[in-house]
Structure 1
Amino acid sequence: MVFAAPNDALSRAEGVLDTDPTPLHASVAHQVIGIWQRDWGDMRLALDHLRRARALAARADSAEREADVLATLGVALVHAGRTREGLTAFEQGVERGSGHTRARVLFRRAYSWWVLGHHREALDDVRRAIPVLRQADDVIWTARALTLRATVHLALGAVDRADADFTAAEALWDTTGQEHDKADAVESRGLAAFRSGDVPAALRLLDEAAERYAKLGTPTFMLTIRRCEVLMAAGLAPEALAEADAATAVLDGIGGQSTLRAELLLTAAKAARLAGDPGTAIARAAVAVRLFAGQRRTWWEAHAQLVLIDARLAAGRGSGRLVAEAVKVAERLSAFGAPAAPEGWLLAGRIALALDWAADAERYLEVAARSRRSGPPLARMTGWAARALWARATGSQRGVLEACRRGLDVLDAHRTTLGASELRARATAQGAELAALAQQASLQGGGPRQLLVWSERWRATALSTPPTRPPADPTLLSGLTAFRVIAARAEEARMEGRPVPALEREQRRLEREIRSRTLHIRGHAPGYGARFDVGLLLERLGDGRLVELAVLDGRVQVLLCGGGRVRRFAGGLLAEAEREAEFVQSALRRLAHPGGERRLPPAEEAGRRLEELLLGPAAARLGSGPVVVVPPARLHRVPWALLPSLRERVVSVSPSASGWLRAHATEPPPGGKHVLVRGPGLATGGAEVPEVAGRYGTPTVLEHDEARAPRVLTELDGAALAHIAAHGTFRADSPMFSALRMADGPLIVHDFERLARSPYRIILSSCDTARLASVGADELLGLVTALLPLGTAGVVASSAPVNDEAVVPLMLALHKGLSSGVSLAQALRDARAALPGDALHQATGWAFTAFGAA
C-alpha cells in the first residue's frame, strides 16, 4: 500500500505495531514506516525503523524477508549519503535472497546506482531483474523496473529506448491501483518529453503529476528538480531558482534525503547561473560538490563542478587553472556518456580562448562542436556555438555567420513548438550569444546592410507570428473569469480600506493556474515566414527613414535606412542611455501633476542627451519624411517625441523592421467597425469618449455595466478602430497579467490573445499602457506586443503616468486627425502641436507613442 495510498499505509502499519504482532508482521510494519519516512519524512527515523525491521526479520528466521528489508535499507543509506554502507547492505541482500526476492533487491540496487550516477551498473542490475519479475507475473515491480530503465536511458541520452520502456510500463500501470507509482510514471513521461525537446508537453505532464501527488499528500522534491530543469530550458531561470530554494528549505525542515538536498542545490546553482547571478551559483554549486563527493556520487559531482566552473568564469575568475579544471570535468562527463559533456568542452574552449591559448581552444571546441549534428535542440546549439567561437578565433567571418545561422535555425525550429508567446519570448535568451557573435562579425567585416540583417535576425522574433490561440479550454476560461472576479473584489476592498490578504492569495493562486494552462499550449507554426528583405524595406519606406538601434558590446550602433541605402553611425553607451531614459520617466511622472513646470527644462535637456547617445550624427540625416524608430528592448520606454530632432516629426516605433513591414502590409478589416470603451474609476470618466463617438457615425460604445470583459472582447474582435479609456496596470513581475480595468475586473494580456483578430488600430488613452517587460534576448512582453502579432497595424499608448484631464484634449485632437485620413503617427504629432504650451500638456503629449505602421 505504501506506493498506492502512502498515508493510509502508514496508519495501517502503526496499527499493526499496536497489536503485539509476530516478529514477521512487525518487520513488515517497521519496513513500511521506514519507507514512508525515507521518501517523505525524516531520514533518521527511516533508518531506525528499517534497522528494527531487519532485526525482526532475522528473529523470524526469514531469509527472504531479511533480504527485502536489506534492499530498502540500502536505498535509505544511499539517500542519506552513506554510500559505502548502502552498497554493503545490497550485497548482503543479494546473498540472502533468491529468485523473485533477489530480483526485487537487484531492482532497488539498480535504482541506487542511478541515484549515484553509475548508469552502466544500473542497467546491468535492472536487466537482470526484469526477466525474473516478468516470469513471476509481478506486474507492479516489472512496471517499476521498466520505468527505472527508461529513466536511466534518458540520463544517457537514449530517448527512443526510454520512450519504448515508458510506453510498456504505462500499459502495466493501467492495470494496477498503485497511485503513487502512476504519478511517478506521469512525471517520468514529462521528463522524456523534455529530453526530446517538447517543453509544453513536459510542463503539462509534470503539472499533472503534481496534481496526482497532491491528492496523495506526498512531497514532490524530485518533481521540483525536473520541473526546474524544464523552466530553465524555457527561459524561466529566476522561477526555477525560487522553486529550488523553497524546496530545499522544506526538505531541510523535515530532515529529508541528503541526496535530494544535493540535487536541489545543483538545480539552484544552474538556475542562478542562467539568471545572471554567478555569486549565488558559486555558493550553491560549491556545497553541492562537497555533498556529492561525500556521497561518492561522481557522476553528479562532475555536473556540479561544471556549473561551479562556469559560474566562476562568469564572475571574472578565468585562469589557466580553471582551464585544467574544465578539461578534467569534460573528460569525466565524456567517460560517463553524459549528454552535458559538450557543455564541458565548450566551457574549456571559452576559457582557453580568453587566455589566447589558441591550440588548446581549437582542440576543446572541436570536440564540443560534434554535438551540433544530433540530439536535443539545446545540445545542438551548444555545438554550433563552439563552431562559431572557433571560426571567430581563426578570423573566418564566413564561418562565424554560417555557424550562427545554423544554430539560430535550430532554436527557431524549437520555438515553433512553443505555443505561449511568453515561452517564445523567453526562449530567445538561449540564442543571445550566437546573435551577438553574428552581429560582431558583421560589424567588423561586413557592411551596414549585413549588420541590419543580423540585427533583425534576432530582434522581436516572438512577435513574428501570432501566438497559438488558446484552445476552448473550459478550465482556462473559468479560471480567467474567476480571476477577474477575485481581482475586482480585491480592488474594491482596497478602495474601502478593508483587509485583502485572503483575496490576494486567491488571486495569486488563480494567476498560477492560468499561466500554467497557457504554458502547456503547443505551437503549430511551421516556421517564421520569409527572411528579412532589406530591399523591400527601402522600397516601402519611400521618403521616410527607419532608424534601427543595435547594441554591440554595450555601445549603440545606429543603422539609418532610407533613400535607397543603409548607413551606420556610432552612438553612445547603452548604460548611459538607460540612465537618461529613467531620468526622463521620473520627470514625466512629476510633470503629470500641476505645478511641475520646473521639471520641464531638465526633461528637455535629458532629451537632448538621449539624442546624442541614441542617434549621434544620424540625427542630422533624417530627411524630411516620417521616421520609424526600432529600439532595443531595454530602451522601449524612451519618449521619442522628446528628442529635439524628432519633436516636430511624424514618428512611430516598432519592435523590429520586419514587424514594421508586416504592419505596413496589413489591410484594414472590411466593414470598418468602430468600438469605444469607457472603464470605471477614471478622473474624467473617459470624457473624450462621447465627443469622439460623434466623429464615427454609429460606433459601438461600451460603458458602465456594458464595459465587461467578455462583451468588450467580442466587439474588439476584427474592429477597424478601438479606443479604450480605462485604467492600465503594468505587472513587471508577470507582464502577461498587465491589464485594463473593465466594469467586471481586469482585462489581461491572456484575454487579448484569445482574439481571432485584434483591432486594426487601437488607442489606449490611460497610464502605463505601453509599458513592457524586456525578456529573453531582445523581446518584449505586454499589452502592445500582444496586439501587434494578432492583426493590429497601429497602437497609440502611454509609457508613463499621465494626467487624465490633460489626456482629453490630446485624444480629441488625435481623433480629429484620424477622421481626416492621416496615420496614427501623424495624427499624434498634430495633436501634440494643438495642445496648450504649458508643461502639463507637453508632458502628456510626450508620454504617448505611436507603434506600428497604421
Structure 2
Amino acid sequence: MTADGDPVLELLPMVFAAPSEALAGAREVLDGDPTPFQASVAHHVIGIWQRDFGDLRLALKHLRRARDLAARAESADREADVLGTLGVALVHAGRTRQGLVAFERGIARGSRQSRARVLFLRAYVWWVLGRHKEALDDVRRAIPVLRQTDDVIWTARALTLRATVHLALGAVDRADADFTAAERLWETTGQEHDKADAVESRGLAAFRSGDIPVALRLLDEAEEMYAKLTTPTFMLTIRRCEVLLSAGLAAEALAQADTAVGLLDGIGGQSTRKAELLLVAARAARLADDPHTAIARAAVAVRLFAAQRRTWWQTHAQLVLIEARLAAGRPSGRLVADAAAVAGRLAAFGSPSAPEAALLAGRIALALGWTADAERHLAVAARSRRAGPPLARMTGWAAQALRAEAAGSGRGVLEACRRGLDVLDDHRTTLGASELRARATAQGAELAALAQRASLDSGGPRRLLAWSERWRATALSTPPARPPADPVLLSGLTAFREIAARAEEARMEGRPVPALEREQRRLEREIRSRTLHMRGNAPGEGERFDPTRLLARLGEGRLVELAVVDGRVHALLCGQGRVRRFAAGLLSEAMAEAEHVQAGLRRLAHPGAEARLPVVEAAGRRLEELLLGEAAQHLGSGPVVVVPPGRLHRVPWALLPSLRERVLSVSPSAGSWLRALDTRPPPGGRHVLVRGPGLATGGAEVPDLAGRYGRPTVLEHDDAEVPRVLAELDGAALAHIAAHGTFRADSPLFSSLGMADGPLIVHDFERLARSPYRIILSSCDTARLASVGADELLGLVTALLPLGTAGVVASSAPVNDAAVVPLMLALHKGLSTGLSLAEALRDARAALPGDAVHQATGWAFTAFGAA
C-alpha cells in the first residue's frame, strides 16, 4: 500500500470529528512499529490535538517530530501539511516570524492541493494577526483549488475563514453568504468539531448584525456540541464575552474571561488566545466601572500582542487601555494624541472600532477645551452614523451630538440624540428578555444625558420632562416575550424550584448544602440562558410620551418627576396645566441619605429601637430637601405621583413630611403611570389570596380577608404550589400574597416569593398571559429593585407592570410581620369601599397605632402604579 493510501491518514480529519478517538488512535500507532510516514501522521495528530486542546509546548515538540519524519519518508505533501500546522502553532505560541517561515517552506514544498491547504492555514494566521487583506488574498487563492480537487472539508474550512474575515471588516452580508455555503458543505461530512465551529461562527455573524438573542442561542448550541466532544472552548468564550458586553452584562463577561485565562494558563495553552481573553477582560472591566483592573488586563494584552507581532490586535488593546486610563485619571494632551493615533491605525486596518477611537479623542479634546481638535476628531467619528451595525451608528450620533454641543446648537444636540436613541430603540425591539432590554439602555446613557443638559440649558421644563421620559423605564413600555411552549425552560423552572426548596430545608435543619447550591446555580444559568435567547416581538416602542396628555390626565393631582442632570436633582412638578422646574440637591447626597433611612427602618422593624424614630424622621426631612427642594411647597392638596430615577428606588416616599399624609403613588416613569391609568380591570373580578409557608404570623391576615371578599380563591398549605398559584393569578382582579420575599441583587429576575413547593420567581411571573390587575405583597423587601442600564429597574414590581398589573403595594425595607397584619386589614377595608391602592394605603397608615414599629411598617410600604 502506498503512503498516500495509508489508513493512518484517516486520523487527521478525525481530530475535528472525534478528537479523543483520534488522540488514542495516534498513540496506538506510535506504540506499534510505524513507518516514518505513519509516525509522522501520528505525531501530526497529537500535535494538532495539543495545539488546540492542550499544551502548546507539547504541540510544538510533536509537530517538529512529525516534520522530521515526513522528510525521512520523502513525502513532499506530508511535509507541506505538517509545516502548515507547525506554522499555526508557532504563531499561537507568539513566534510569528518562525511561523511565517514555516508557511513559506510548506508552500514551496507541496503539490497543488497541499499548497492550497497551506495557503488556507496561512490565511488563518493572517486573520489571527489582524492582517485581513493578506488573509483574503491567501484564502481566495486557496478556495478554487480546493473546490476543483473536491476537497470538501478544507473548502468548508476556507469558506468559514473567509466569512470570519469579512465579519472583522464589517462586511456582514458577504460573511453570511460564505457561512451559509460552508454550512451546506459541513452537513455532508462527519466533522463534528468543524460543525460546532460553523455554528459558533454563525453566532458571531448574528452578533455583528445586531441580533443578540440569536447570537446567544447559537453560541449556546455550539457550546453543547463542543461539550459532547470534550474539547476546550476558549474562542467561544471570547465571542460570548463580546456578546455579553454588547448586552450590558460586563461583570459577567469579566468573570468568564478571567476564568478562561486561568484555565488556559493551567494547561499551557495558546499565548494568542490568552492575549485575546485579556483584551476582552479589559473591555469588560472598563464597562463594569473598574478602570484599574481594565488597565492591568489591557497592558498585559498590549505587551503580548506586540511580542506576537499582532499589530491589529495590539491597536485594539491600546484603545481599551486609553479608555481605562481616562476613566482612572484626568484628560490630558497625551491621551488625545494616543487616541488619535489609535483611531488612525484602526481606520487604516478597516476596523469597525475606528469611529469609537475617534469619538474618544474628540471627547478628551473637548474636556481640555481644545475645540478645533475636538471638531476634527468628532467629524471623523460622526461619519459612522449613517450605516453599519446599531452600536456603530450610535457612536456616530453621539459624536454628532457632541459637535453640536461644542458649536452651541441646542437644536442640533437634540436632533442627534433623537436619531441615536431611535437606532437603539429599533435594536431593543429585537430583544425579548426584559433583562437584556433594560441593560441595553446603558448604550444610550450619554445621548440621554446630552439631551437633558441641552434641554436644561435652553428648552424649558416641559422639554426637560420629555427628554427625562425619553430614556426612563423604557424596558417597561412593552411586555417581555413569553415562551410558554418552551418545554426545556418549563422543566428547568420546576427543577430549580425543587432544588431551591431542598436547599432551604437543609439550611433550616443545619445540614450542609454546597452540592444543592451548586446545582441551583447551574439551573439558574440554564434558565437565564433560555430567556436571553428570546427575540422581541414588539413592532415598536408604542406612542411617544406627550406632556400635554399627562397634564390633562392629572386633574387635581400632581406628578413630580425627578431628573438628574450633571449629578444634580431637578424636580419637575406637573399639574394645573403646566410643568415647573425646581432645583434640588445632589444625587450622591440623596443616595447616601436614603441608605441611612433604610438602616433606620431595619432597626425600627424590631421592638426596642424607638430611640431611632427621631433620627429616621430627621433623615426624611433631609431627603425632602435634597429631592423635592421648593417643589414640596407647591404640591397642592390632591394626589401625588412621584417618578424617581432608578438609583433612588429604595426611598420610602411616605416618610417625607410633605408626602406623609397624602394619597401617594410611585411609578418608574410618567409614561408607565399613564399606561397603568389606562389599564382596565379584567372581567369577572376574581380575588386570589395566597399564604406561603414559614411566616412569623402565618399570614394571619389571610383568613380575615377571605371573609371580607365572599368567595375568593384561597391558596395555602399544599395548595400554594407555584403551578396552581400562577394559574389562579392569571387574569385575577386582585391578588394578595403573604409569602417570604427574597431579593437577589446578583440576579434580580431570580428574586422570589416563597411557596409551598419552592420559590416563585420573576421569570415565572413573566409567563403569565396577564398578571393580576392589583397585587398586594405583604412581606419584606418585595419592592426592592436593581438599577441597571441607563435608568431601568429589574425586580418583582417592575416585572408585573408591563404584564397588565395597574397597581402594586409592596415594601422596600424589612418589616415587622406582626405590625403588617393590621396594616393589611386596614388596606383591604379601604379597597372594599372602592378606594384606590394609594388611597387605601394612606388611610391604613393613619389607622395604625402610633408606636415606632407600626409607623416604620407603614412607611416601608409603597403603592406603585395607578390602580
Q: Same fold (TM over 0.5)?
A: yes
Aligned equivalent of 1:542: 555
How far the C-alpha of 1:179 sits from its partner, in A, is 0.4
Q: What is the deviation of 1:316? A: 2.3
The equivalences for 1:189-338 within 5 A come to 189-338=202-351
Distance, in Å, in 1 between the alignment partners of 2:388 and 2:84 is 36
Deviation at 1:524, TM superposition (A): 1.0
Asked whether 1:710 is paired with 2:723, we answer: yes
How big is each residue's C-alpha offset from its partner over 1:181-204, in whole Å with a ceiling of 9 and x where there is no partner?
000000000000000000000000
Q: Deviations over 1:591-628 (max 9, x none)?
A: 11111101111000000000000011011110000100
The Cα of 1:552 is off from its aligned counterpart by 1.0
How much has 1:471 moved relative to structure 2? 4.1
**Match for residue 614 of structure 1 among 605, 627, 645:** 627
**CA deviation digits over 1:501-556, x for unaligned, max 9?**
00000000000000000000000101111110101111111000000001111110
Q: Following the alignment from structure 1 to structure 2, what is the Cα–Cα distance between the partners of residues 726 and 358? A: 59
Deviations 1:5-25 (A, max 9, x none): 111111110110000211000
Structure 1 counterpart of 2:146, one-letter code: L
Matches within 5 A, 1:11-26: 11-26=24-39
1:698 aligns to what?
711
Separation in 1, partners of 2:33, 2:332? 66
**Secondary structure at the residue paired with 1:91?**
helix
Distance between the aligned counterparts of 2:70 and 2:841, measured in 1?
85
Give distance in 1, aligned partners of 2:64 and 2:456. Answer: 69
3-state SS of the aligned residue for 1:525? coil
Q: 2:677 & 2:786 partners in 1: Cα distance?
A: 25
Structure 2: distance between partners of 1:449 and 1:602: 37
Aligned-pair CA distance for 1:137: 0.7
Cα deviation code 1:28-78 (max 9, x no counterpart): 000110101111111111100000000101111111111110000000000
Match of 2:732 among 694, 697, 719: 719
Letter in 2 for 1:49: H
Out of 412, 420, 438, the residue aligned to residue 425 of structure 1 is 438
1:277 deviates by 1.0
Task: Give the drift of 1:802.
Answer: 0.8
Displacement of 1:324 in angstroms is 1.1
Correspondence for 1:802 among 815, 820, 823: 815
| 1:723 partner SS | strand
1:541 alignment partner AA = L
5+ residue gaps, structure 1: none
User: For 1:533, which of 542, 546, 557 is the aligned residue?
Assistant: 546
CA distance, structure 1, for counterparts of residue 165 and residue 122 of structure 2: 13
Aligned residue for 2:210, secondary structure, equals: coil
Measured after TM superposition, the shift of residue 105 of structure 1 is: 0.5
Distance in 2 of aligned mates of 1:256 and 1:491? 41
Distance between the aligned counterparts of 2:333 and 2:609, measured in 1? Answer: 58
Other-structure match for 1:80: 93
How far 1:637 sits from its partner (Å)? 0.6
What is the RMSD of the two structures over their aligned residues, measured on CA atoms? 0.6
Q: For residues 628-667 of structure 1, give each alpha carbon's deviation from its aligned partner in whole angstroms, at most 9, with x where no partner exists.
A: 0000101101001100111111100000000000001111
Partner residue, 1:144: 157
Out of 599, 607, 619, the position equivalent to 1:594 is 607
Please give the per-residue CA displacement for 1:662-714, whole angstroms capped at 9, x wherever unaligned.
00111111110000000000111111011111111111101110000000000
Equivalent residue, structure 2, for 1:402 = 415
Q: Tell me the CA shift for residue 313 of structure 1.
A: 1.3
Instruction: Could you tell me which runs of 5 or more consecutive residues in structure 2 were left unpaired when the two chains were aligned.
Output: 1-13
Matches of 1:589 and 1:221, distance apart in 2: 46
**Structure 1 equivalent of residue 829 of structure 2:** 816
1:146-165 to structure 2, matched below 5 A, reads 146-165=159-178
2:759 pairs with 1:746: yes
Identify which of 55, 58, 61 aligns with 2:74: 61
Mapped partners of 1:696, 1:55: distance in 2? 89
Query: 367, 381, 391: which is aligned to 1:368?
Result: 381
The structure 2 residue matched to 1:578, chosen from 591, 601, 625, is 591
Deviation sequence 1:262-315 (CA, Å, 0-9, x none):
000000011111111111111111111111111110110110111111111112
How many residue pairs match? The answer is: 854
Moved more, 496-505 or 310-319: 310-319
Query: Which whole-Å CA distance do the structure 2 matches of 1:6 and 1:478 have between them?
Result: 32
| CA deviation string 1:558-583 (max 9, x = no partner) | 10000111000011011111111111
Tell me the equivalent position of 1:383. Answer: 396
Distance 2:601 2:374 in 1: 51
Paired residue secondary structure (1:32): helix
Aligned to 1:6: 19
CA distance in 2, matches of 1:279, 1:372: 31
SS at match of 1:546: strand
CA distance in 2, matches of 1:358, 1:771: 44
2:352 corresponds to 1:339: yes
2 CA distance for matches of 1:711 and 1:58? 73
**Shift, 1:469, TM fit:** 1.4
The C-alpha deviation readout for 1:302-341, integer Å capped at 9, x for no partner, is 1011111111111223211111111111111111111111
Equivalent residue of 2:665, what SS?
strand
> In structure 1, what is the equivalent of residue 145 of structure 2?
132
| SS of structure 1 residue aligned to 2:396 | helix
Point out 4+ residue stretches in structure 1 off by more than 6 angstroms.
none
| Aligned partner of 2:744 among 715, 722, 731 | 731
Task: Tell me the secondary structure at the aligned position of residue 690 of structure 2.
Answer: strand
Residue in structure 2 matched with residue 648 of structure 1 by the alignment: 661
Distance in 1, matches of 2:69 and 2:401, equals: 64
Letter of the 2:174 partner, please give it: R
Counterpart amino acid of 1:75?
V
Residue 107 of structure 2 corresponds to residue 107 of structure 1: no
Post-superposition Cα deviations, 1:707-751, rounded to whole Å, max 9, x if no partner, equal: 000000000000000000000000000000000000000000000
Partner AA of 1:228 in structure 2: C
2:814 aligned with 1:767, yes or no?
no
Please give the alpha-carbon distance, in whole angstroms, between the structure 1 residues aligned to 2:378 and 2:606. Answer: 58
Question: Could you list the per-position Cα deviations for residues 464-483 of structure 1 after superposition, in whole angstroms to 9, with x for gaps in the alignment?
Answer: 11111124100000000000
Aligned to 2:510: 497
Q: How far does residue 83 in structure 1 lie from its aligned partner after superposition?
A: 0.3
Q: Which residue number corresponds to residue 454 of structure 1? A: 467
- Gap change, CA 1:690 and 1:471, over 3 Å in 2: closer
- Which residue is 2:488 aligned to? 475
Q: Which residue of 1 aligns with 2:10?
A: none
Give the secondary structure class of the aligned counterpart of 1:148: helix
1:568 pairs with one of 575, 581, 601: 581
User: Does the residue aligned with 2:217 lie in a helix, a strand or coil?
Assistant: helix
* Correspondence 1:839 to 2:852: yes
Q: What is the alpha-carbon distance in structure 1 between the residues aligned to residue 88 and residue 635 of structure 2? A: 72
Secondary structure in structure 1 of the residue aligned to 2:569: strand
User: 1:463 aligns to what?
Assistant: 476
Task: Measure the CA separation in 1 of the matches of 2:446 and 2:384.
Answer: 17
How high is the sequence identity, in percent, across the aligned residues? 84
Secondary structure of 1:836 counterpart: coil
Matched, 1:41 2:72: no
Letter in structure 2 aligned against 1:740: L
- What is the CA–CA distance in structure 1 between the aligned matches of 2:559 and 2:519, rounded to whole Å? 46
**Offset at 1:780?**
0.3
CA distance in 2 between partners of 1:354 and 1:805 (Å): 56
Structure 2 equivalent of residue 121 of structure 1: 134
